[in-house]
């Protein structure tokens, strides 16, 4: 039933499930940074339209002409119209789209927040029986749940902790996760995907690649920490960036240590840290190996090394090796208050 009230956005997975269950709407407005959802819905919808698909970019085409075509019945059956670059059109309070011909479907995609879609368009979507799809980047929990669902859709199985770990390694972007899930299902060859398998098939994001160095330093393993530096350099990391990553991890350990010292339960600590659960758990474990005084010395070391680097007092590689060795050695000292 058509309504004149604004259409409330629904998450991408909800719209996907609806299509997979056989329901097709006349209008989809996909708003958000995750271009994945526009492409995914388009690929799922296209086989249902005998007239095929026509793609346009509204930055290069006349909106009025395209909307006119959408409103006209097609001789060879319904057609799917896929329009990208609809940012300006959806920001207009007056919705230029009058109707969608029976059998046709219009999919409008824009890289704007769902809240930026005008009320006029939200009302029109509702009047035409359409749906606004929220394509905002998912949070960690939602991304991991999507991984589990996608693995099942492809006929595979994955442990919950493995899904969470995959998100930690490659990030929350669904286009990237989709590729890694496909690799994982093939790699597992019918077996349940485990965390150790994820380590074997997943291509980690550059920041996650630095985790091995951070982990070695924060765990006091000098030899392993030094061994990571050449690999990071070959991946494009410079010394200031490495210092920044180390400082961020040490700050996380400090915060975790403070919260634990205050008697905050571990589950709440993980939430208060505001990072991926794996990173939070690691920081809490590492906190016991660091004293506050050692953390203070570590921060002073990074500041001094960064100053020496910027003033040309020391070679970048030597500065990095010295800082990494010193920080890792700090962790191995007897714990002090």
Regarding whether 274 and 237 lie in a shared domain, the answer is yes
Regarding whether 224 and 176 lie in a shared domain, the answer is no
In a domain, 4, yes or no: no
Give pTM, 2 decimals: 0.63
Instruction: Pull the structure tokens for residue 121.
Output: 């368009």
Regarding whether 91 and 37 lie in a shared domain, the answer is yes
Q: How many domains does the chain have?
A: 3
CA atoms within 13 A on the CB side of 204: 15
Measuring CA to CA, how many Å separate 256 from each of 124, 219, 264?
49, 15, 9
Regarding whether 57 and 21 lie in a shared domain, the answer is yes
Question: At which of 89, 116, 134 does a domain end?
Answer: 134
Q: What are phi and psi of 140, to 5 degrees?
A: -60, -45
In a domain, 5, yes or no: no
Q: Looking at residue 225, which CATH number applies to its domain?
A: 1.20.272.10
Q: One digit per residue, pLDDT tens: the chain, 337 residues?
A: 455 688 789 999 999 999 999 999 999 999 998 889 999 999 999 999 988 899 998 877 788 889 999 999 877 788 999 999 999 999 988 888 999 999 999 999 999 999 999 999 999 999 999 999 999 988 888 899 999 999 998 999 999 999 998 988 888 889 889 989 999 999 999 999 999 999 888 866 555 556 778 888 888 888 888 888 887 776 677 888 888 888 888 898 999 999 988 988 888 887 888 777 777 888 888 888 888 999 999 999 999 988 888 888 888 888 889 998 999 888 765 444 4
Question: At which of 112, 134, 156 does a domain end?
Answer: 134
Q: Which domain holds residue 149?
A: 140-204
| CB contact burial 33-64 (16+ within 10 A = b; e otherwise) | ebbbbbbbbbeebeeebebebeebebeeeebe
Measuring CA to CA, how many Å separate 283 from each of 143, 207, 272, 274?
22, 16, 12, 12
Measuring CA to CA, how many Å separate 40 from each of 128, 163, 174, 208, 278?
22, 20, 10, 27, 29
Dist CA 197 CA 263 (whole Å): 36
| Span 289-320, pLDDT tens digits | 888 999 999 999 999 988 888 888 888 888 88
In a domain, 199, yes or no: yes
Dist CA 53 CA 39 (whole Å): 13
DSSP assignment of 45-87 equals HGGG-TT-EEEEETTTS-HHHHHHHHTS--TTS--EEEEE--H
Regarding whether 211 and 320 lie in a shared domain, the answer is yes
Regarding whether 166 and 250 lie in a shared domain, the answer is no
Residues 209 and 233 sit within 8 Å (Cβ to Cβ): no
Secondary structure of 238-283 in the HEC alphabet? CHHHHHHHHHHHHHHHHHHHHHHHCCCCHHHHHHHHCCCHHHHHHH
| Span 45-57, pLDDT tens digits | 999 998 889 999 8
């Amino acid at each position: 039933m058509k309504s004149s009230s604004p259409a409330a956005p629904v998450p991408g997975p909800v719209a996907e499930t609806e299509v997979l269950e056989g329901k097709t709407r006349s209008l989809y407005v996909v708003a958000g940074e995750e271009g994945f959802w526009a492409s995914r819905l388009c690929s799922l919808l296209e086989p249902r339209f005998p007239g095929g698909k026509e793609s346009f970019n509204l930055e290069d085409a006349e909106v009025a002409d395209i909307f006119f075509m959408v409103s006209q019945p097609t001789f060879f059956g319904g057609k799917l119209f896929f329009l990208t670059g609809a940012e300006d059109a959806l920001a207009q309070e007056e919705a230029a789209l009058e109707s969608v011909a029976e059998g046709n479907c219009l999919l409008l995609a824009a890289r704007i927040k769902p809240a930026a879609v005008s009320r006029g368009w939200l009302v029109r979507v509702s009047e035409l029986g359409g749906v606004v799809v929220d394509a905002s980047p998912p949070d960690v929990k939602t991304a991991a749940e999507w991984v589990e669902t996608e693995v099942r859709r492809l006929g595979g199985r994955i442990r919950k902790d493995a899904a969470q770990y995959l998100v930690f390694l490659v990030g929350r972007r669904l286009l990237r996760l989709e590729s890694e899930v496909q690799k994982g299902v093939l790699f597992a060859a019918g077996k349940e995907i485990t965390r150790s398998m994820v380590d074997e098939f997943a291509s980690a994001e550059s920041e996650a690649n630095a985790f091995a160095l951070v982990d070695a330093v924060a765990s006091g393993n000098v030899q392993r920490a030094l061994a990571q530096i050449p690999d990071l350099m070959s991946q494009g990391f410079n010394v200031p960036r490495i210092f920044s990553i180390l400082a961020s991890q040490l700050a996380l350990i400090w915060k975790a240590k403070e919260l634990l010292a205050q008697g905050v339960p571990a589950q709440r600590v993980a939430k208060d840290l505001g990072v991926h659960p794996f990173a939070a758990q690691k920081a809490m474990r590492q906190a016991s190996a660091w004293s506050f005084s050692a953390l203070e010395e570590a921060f002073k070391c990074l500041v001094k090394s960064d100053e020496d680097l910027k003033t040309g007092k020391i070679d970048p590689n030597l500065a990095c090796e010295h800082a990494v060795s010193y920080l890792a050695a700090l962790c191995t000292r007897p714990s002090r208050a």
